[in-house]
Structure 1
Amino acid sequence: MRSSILKSLKPDIMVEMLENAFLSENWDRILNTSDILFSYAQCIYEERQDLKSKGLPLSLGVVMPHSLVYYFGFSHLMRGIAHQKQGHYNQARECMSKYADLGWLDGLDEEGLQLVEEFRFLAKTNLYTLDILVGKTDQLEEYVVFLQDYPEELLPGLDSILQAVFRHVMNVYELLRTFAQQFTEFGESREEANPSYYYNYCYYLAVYHKRAGRHSEALECILQCIILAHKSHNDGDFRNCMALFESLRDRATEEQIRQYQEVLTAVLE
């Protein structure tokens, strides 16, 4: 894409497009848009380096809402997420290595240096996730310590661990008991930073309990899922939850069936 076209783009609009594509799970769109955002950031960086070499003020170049390192980091971050969701783990790891090390950028101010550290932390977090997903179970104990130190990462972290359980032979029952209180608090507060993580956790946990023969625990998780899917108006998730509940209906208590029917009634109203 020509530099004149790139410099005319609005980077924050591209960031918003990437966030919307993430919510709709459109991974191909994320790959395409993140490529454009990276090209934009690279173009502006080269322009600034040219101005600097000529002794001209940077104010002659494009002015952006955020530090330039933000757009470099965000483009690599979103591209890595898309590759991971598509199962392209080597490409995802390559993206992580790029936003883990953004200190090479010239002229970083205080905001830029802070962003470098934030992206380095995100890379560390996401690398743990990737290692667990590909079956590096030797990382599990270290990852648990990390989650205890950074509880804000707990929901997406346990979500990833439960996904890995279905791909690899892993016994995480005691691990889940370790964090049981925190998840009770998540469910009671209803103030999750990302409700989709809480839904995914409950759904995968329900399947995990069902496979282990813990039907009562599975049904409690399914009921949580049904409520969350209804509130988020996600018909696909709601249907999945219904199917899972019906597969265990004969194991449900009268109270669990009553709660289930209450949600169904609410949907019809």
Structure 2
Amino acid sequence: MLDMAVGFENWSKVLEIADILYQCVKCIHEERRERQSQGWSAPYNPTERPLLYYYGYSLEMKGLAYQKLGKVEEARACIRRYAELKWMGSLNEAEEQVVHEFKHKARANRYALEIEVGQAELLDEYVGFLRKHPDEQVRGLTTIMGAAVRYGWQVDQIIHTFSEQIDDFNIKSDSSNNENMYLYFFQRAMYEQWMRRPQDAVECILQAIRLAHELGMDRYFKRCASKFESLRETATKEQVQRYRAFLKIVE
């Protein structure tokens, strides 16, 4: 349910569902502690992942929703909470792995949040982080380009630094990778347009259209089509032909 609400960018719903998940985790944990304190065996509540994961995930999604709603301090508070998840006492190996996973997520999301609110002094540090963590690169570059347009930063050198990695990611084909790449190319188009390179912007939109089609995401496709039409006068004949070919595929 959380994933669906995030997909539809319904941030108030994300907050609501994340709170429900948090309360469910809290109730199960308290029940386990009470039974153990009385010498009873803990109830069997099978979950795909350790209970601690769902606690961290609820906070991560709340932080994301607050960030999208512009509530920066609330987002920071959520990040601080899931950065340190050792609140359940002694942890087994699987739970220790969850703690490590969310510590990493908290660091990545803290950088993204601060860049989004215009902390340009963190750019070099963030780029260093992205170099060490390839799995964060596409999302990180998307965040940087969005901030660049918003605050007037020129980030061509950063884009160039990761150009080979982006090409490699673009070749790979799976649903999660394609969605991240779609967001990258759409935001890159906004950046190229802002940099007054309209044909480069069109090229990025065509890449985004291709990925939107592969994802089967109608609203993504419509968003791209609208952006292409706003740039049509600057597109080359070859780019217009490719766009028309995409339209025929989805008819």
TM bucket (normalised to shorter chain) is over 0.9
- Structure 1 residues 197-217: Cα deviation after superposition (integer angstroms, max 9, x where no partner): 211111111121112121221
Give the counterpart letter for 1:52 in structure 2.
Q
Cα distance, 1:192 vs. partner?
6.0
Give the counterpart letter for 2:120 in structure 1.
T
**Inter-partner Cα distance in structure 2 for 1:149 and 1:91:** 28
Aligned to 2:8: 24
Q: 1:252 to 1:110 in 2, by over 3 A?
A: same
Give the counterpart letter for 1:25 in structure 2.
E
Matched, 1:98 2:81: yes
Matched, 1:161 2:144: yes
Task: Indicate conservation of the 8 Å contact 2:149/2:190, yes or no.
Answer: no
Matched, 1:82 2:82: no
Output aligned runs, 1:104-183, within 5 Å. 104-183=87-166
How many residue pairs align between the two structures? Answer: 250
Give the counterpart letter for 2:204 in structure 1.
C
Aligned to 1:48: 32
Task: Indicate conservation of the 8 Å contact 2:2/2:18, yes or no.
Answer: yes
RMSD: 1.7
- Structure 1 residues 35-63: Cα deviation after superposition (integer angstroms, max 9, x where no partner): 111112112222222223223332xx242
Q: Which of 199, 214, 218 matches 2:182?
A: 199
Q: 1:34 to 1:240 in 2, by over 3 A?
A: closer
Cα distance, 1:32 vs. partner?
1.2
Aligned to 2:169: 186
Cα distance, 1:249 vs. partner?
2.5
Structure 2: gaps (5+ residues): none
Identity %: 39
Q: Give TM-score scaled by structure 2 length.
A: 0.92
Q: 1:33 to 1:247 in 2, by over 3 A?
A: closer
Aligned to 1:8: none
SS of match in other structure, 2:46: coil
Stretch of structure 1 that moved more, 140-149 or 205-214:
205-214
**Inter-partner Cα distance in structure 1 for 2:101 and 2:228:** 41
| The structure with more radius of gyration | 1
Structure 1: gaps (5+ residues): 1-16
**Inter-partner Cα distance in structure 1 for 2:30 and 2:223:** 49
- Structure 1 residues 113-163: Cα deviation after superposition (integer angstroms, max 9, x where no partner): 111111111111100100100111111101101111110111111111112
SS of match in other structure, 2:150: coil
Stretch of structure 1 that moved more, 226-235 or 130-139:
226-235
